[in-house]
Structure 1
């Protein structure tokens, strides 16, 4: 018997994934922007802001795609079919 997943649990999982993904991307942007700022650009602040903003935008885009993909549940169950000759 397959266990049923409640819709609120699925939604909560998507929210958690979105928050974690956005946080990781923002932290990576902060790190990369900080390295560029310290090494190449004489300690200017705009590379850090650009890196954090880019990370936030990427995380938001991924979350939006995850929430709007209505066939995500079906895609998990698809299997590759090999043609028989």
Structure 2
């Protein structure tokens, strides 16, 4: 038997927690993809040097940081203006 309930109102702590979770997952995925691409580039192109791995992992982490920064501060999205409220 299914009971219908009203949708729960999310608190600000839940919203911030979801944003942090999303940012952490994004960081792990993008840094992992960068790490993998760096290993492939290191083996195939650069005679097994370590710097391509570090560089690609850094690019992935930087992209995740930029996305997380935009999630927490929407005013940093290119093309968005914040206007003052007029009384």
Shorter-chain TM-score range: 0.7 to 0.9
Per the normalisation by structure 1, the TM-score is 0.78
Any stretches of 5+ residues in structure 2 without a counterpart? 1-5, 76-87
2:58 to 53, 61, 70: 53
Q: Measure the CA separation in 1 of the matches of 2:53 and 2:7.
A: 47
Per the normalisation by structure 2, the TM-score is 0.76
2:28 to 23, 28, 34: 23
Question: Superposition RMSD on alpha carbons, in Å?
Answer: 1.3
Count how many residue pairs are aligned between Structure 1 and Structure 2.
70
Which structure shows the higher helix fraction?
Answer: 1
Any stretches of 5+ residues in structure 1 without a counterpart? 71-85
